[in-house]
Chains A and B, each alone.
Chain A
Amino acid sequence: MLPTLGGRIQSRIVFLAIIGGIITLILTPILPLGSGALSAKYKTTFLILLTVIVLGVIWEFIYHLIMQWRWEKDWPTFFGLVTLINEGVVVYLLADYGIVPGIKAHSVPLSAFLIDFLVIWICVWLWVNGPMRVVNVRWRFHGGRLV
């Protein structure tokens, strides 16, 4: 990826919201979230998605800063995948300690979180590294900006 800061943030919000939203919608009923009403489960998974988006915007500033130390000012494909580790850990810890508003402490099983988070992350990563270029021919030349 060859992002600009603005492009990073726009892409992050839009792809996580759309792709992440669709996956969350499909996946939540079959996630090992224990017993309880489906609406409560949806509330939890969408809150987690929202957390990933909001924190993600902060992360993008950090990534942008790190990128300044790269001569090519690029963001290798691998970086786009491996950042799931730091981001995943932080989001899970926040959820588990009950810091995410609306999610009770220790209420999200690790297995459910991992499945949900990994599936979304990998799908978004695959999307931005290929098919997105077909949906918008200007996106890749504009640093990931959509508007």
Chain B
Amino acid sequence: MTNTPDLPGSIDPSMPATIMRSRPAKPAASAEQGAAPGSGDLTDELLNTDQWTDAMIQRAGIPVADIPFVSIGGGIGSFVTVDYLRIAGVPANRMHVLSNLDFPWQTYEYLTRVSQIPRPERIRSDSASRPDNIWGFPSYALTEAFKEGNWAELWHVFAEPMWADFYTPKAGRVFEGLEREAKRIGWHQMLVKGQVRMVRKRQGGGYFIILTPKAGATPTKRVAYRAEYVHLAVGYPGLRYLKELQDFRTKHQDYHHVVSAYEEHEHIYEAARTKPVTVMLRGGGIVASRVLQRIMDDREKYGTQTQIVHLFRTFIDGPHSPNEKTLRAWNKRSGSNGFAYQGFNYPKSVWGGQLKAEMRKLEGEARLTRYKEMGGTNTPWRRRWQAQMGNGRREGWYHIMQATVDDMRIEGDKIVSIANTRNGKLEIPADYIIDCTGLEADIAEHRVLKDLLDHSGVGRNPYGRLDVERTFELRGTASGPGVIYASGATTLGGYFPGVDTFLGLQVAAQEICDDLARRRFCKKIGTFRSISQWIKWARNKQP
């Protein structure tokens, strides 16, 4: 939560407090130089006009294609939304997915793989969070039991979370399921590859989406899509590093010894197999747990002698009521040895139960406070991790401490961090530093979102991300009958906290689908449609 930017207050008193317009009263003049009219590229006229006419696009020489629905991103968020709409009766030829990805789980697979969740490892969502199946039935555990004869997994779901860790599916199974569903709904028919540059309102209703296809793929540099409905699922606007780590990397041009867990960093584990090294970890979330597990597994498997120094900015040493001074029996999260424990990134009921209902009603500051209480950095309590870390502490190769780092310097072949700890300043040498904090960049760092903030009246929610309605409509973007929806990490801070997860993206997709049914773009998924479509899913027949 460290990345919430300082927010300007609401500048329009008629708007609810949740809408914090970051839009300047007058859009800042675009620094970008426009291309010549007729060149097939963005002209000055286009760059500087909030609402485009068909004639403007024509004057620029950009070819236009009509398509009622466009989803931008093409990751898991686009996938589950388009999946819902296909099941709600929208044919594949009425939707386009604009993306730089070849397949929907590409970014997800990259991020999980480098952060130490290869295909055979288990991810962090529950048995009924199935992005390849809108019903969550049969659950992953049931499928695993039937397909692999792994009946223990059913016991697992039954006994969780008291006598077993939460069941979570293997990454590989998730990807196989997505592949099958992608074929079934005709994903590749809908996919158009390229980089989306911007979305602007169209005079007369709807939107223009400007896509930059791969160089040479089309006669013009840009192509435009004219759509009535737009869905934005661009994932993380970007990743950020801890400031001192970024400064160090820039100053010393060292991208080898100081890395982010979201970058390839296999060389560190390889080095550890050739000589004893000290690795410093920063951050107390799931990514830190994963990296720790990898180092600890390697110690067991290859007898490596890696020493681990683990720095927590916020050190949790017992059950706690986050954001509150007094410990409340009915509102406490467990924690120990630095970590706050929670099965998933938010308490489970934000995905459907009491907390989901509660959050839906909260506005402004009250909502932000609840976000802080329930979220923050946390990781699951898993039996195996606890045993490994316990060993490490006993045997003296795993050191934990509460600390922030002021400065870093090179000394010999070590990187020394000057840390502020409870016991004063401490100099900690390490061979490698892995940033596991997973900080996310501000939404304005994403070009498409920045353009929307500057030109289309998009606001920020109390958390600083895109301000969406309960239906996931982006507030302020209505254009005639047209609507822009957004889901995923860019909308965190809204009425539904679970957005950046498989199940959360499906919750959003359902809201979007129901809203589009009200607008008569698709059919409402009632009981009959739901059952008949489920049978099609089970038989792997087109929706």
Chain A: residues with CB nearer than 8 A to chain B? Answer: 1-5, 7, 67-69, 71-78, 81, 130-131, 133-138, 140-144
Q: A71-B332, A76-B161 are in contact. Are A136 and B527 (CB under 8 A)?
A: yes
Contact (Cβ within 8 A) B534 A67: no
Whose C-beta in chain A lies nearest to the C-beta of B537? A134
What is the 8 Å Cβ interface bit string for chain B, positions 498-526, against chain A (1 contact, 0 not)?
Answer: 00000000010010000000000000010
- A137 near B137: Cβ-Cβ < 8 Å: no
Which single member of A75, A130, A136, A141 contacts B356 (CB below 8 Å)?
A: A141
Taking the closest CB of chain A, its distance from the CB of B267, in whole angstroms, is: 38
How far is A7 from B525 in the complex, measured between Cα atoms in Å? 20
Which listed residue, B351, B510, B527, touches A135 by the CB 8 Å rule? B527
Does B134 lie at the interface of the complex (its beta carbon under 8 Å from any beta carbon of A)? yes
Pair A71/B137 contact, Cβ less than 8 Å: no
Residue B28 is within 8 A (CB to CB) of chain A in the complex = no
Distance in angstroms between the alpha carbons of A137 and B513 in the assembled complex: 12
Query: Is B352 a contact of A2 with CB atoms below 8 Å?
Result: yes
Partner of B353, one of A2, A77, A78, A133: A2
Shortest Cβ distance from B163 into A: residue: A78
B353 touches A138 (CB 8 A): no
Say which size band chain B's interface belongs to: 35 or more
Q: Is the CB of A3 within 8 A of B354?
A: yes
**Residues from chain B with Cβ under 8 Å of A67 in the complex:** 354
Interface centre among A69, A72, A75, A76 (most CB of B within 10 A): A72
Give chain B nearest CB distance to A38 CB in angstroms: 33
Bound together, the chains give a CA A123 to CA B135 distance in angstroms of 19
Contact A74 B510 (CB under 8 A): no
Which residue of A is nearest B137, CB measured?
Answer: A133
Which of B136, B160, B347, B507 sits near A71, CB closer than 8 Å?
Answer: B347
Interfacial chain B residues near A73, Cβ < 8 Å: 347-349, 353-355
Q: From A4, A76, A135, A143, give the contact of B160 (CB < 8 A).
A: A76
Least Cβ distance of B249 to chain A in Å? Answer: 38
Give Cα distance in the complex from A71 to B343, angstroms: 10
Which of B330, B348, B525 contacts A2, CB < 8 Å? B348
Q: Is B255 positioned at the interface, with any CB of A under 8 Å from its CB?
A: no
- Determine whether the beta carbon of A140 is less than 8 Å from that of B352: yes
Instruction: Give the Cβ gap from A143 to chain B, nearest Cβ, in Å.
Output: 5
A-B contact pairs, 10 of them (CB 8 A): A2-B352, A2-B353, A2-B354, A71-B347, A72-B161, A72-B349, A73-B348, A73-B349, A73-B353, A78-B162
Top 4 nearest A-B pairs by Cβ distance? Answer: A2-B353, A73-B349, A2-B352, A72-B348
Q: Is the CB of A71 within 8 A of B530?
A: no
Asked if B357 CB lies within 8 Å of chain A CBs, one says yes
CB < 8 Å: which of A68, A76, A81, A142 contacts B330?
A: A68
B417 to chain A, nearest CB (A): 33
Given contacts A71-B332, A133-B137, contact A2 B159 (CB under 8 A): no
* Chain A CB within 10 Å, residue with most, of B160, B329, B353: B353
Is B159 touching A78 in the complex (CB atoms < 8 A)? Answer: yes
- Name which residue of chain B comes closest to A79, CB basis: B162
Q: A2-B348, A130-B138 are in contact. List 4 more A-B contacts (CB 8 A).
A: A1-B353, A71-B331, A78-B159, A137-B530
With a CB–CB cut-off of 8 A, which chain A residues contact B354? 2-5, 67, 73, 143
Residues of B within 8 Å of A5, CB to CB, are: 354
**Which A residues touch B510, using CB under 8 A?**
137-138, 141
Instruction: Report Cα–Cα, A69/B331, bound state, in Å.
Output: 7
Min Cβ gap B86→A in Å is 14
Q: How far is the CB of B190 from chain A (nearest CB, A)?
A: 22
Asked whether any CB of chain A lies closer than 8 Å to the CB of B152, the reply is: no
B356 / chain A contacts, CB cutoff of 8 Å: 2, 141, 143
The interface residues of chain B lying within 8 Å CB-to-CB of A75 are: 353
> Are A130 and B142 in contact (CB-based, < 8 A)?
yes
Residue of chain A at shortest CB distance from B351:
A2
A141-B352 in contact given A77-B157, A133-B136 (Cβ < 8 Å)? yes
Cα of A81 to Cα of B349 in the assembled complex, Å = 19
Complex: A73 Cα to B343 Cα, angstroms: 12
**Chain A nearest CB: distance from B514 CB in Å?**
8
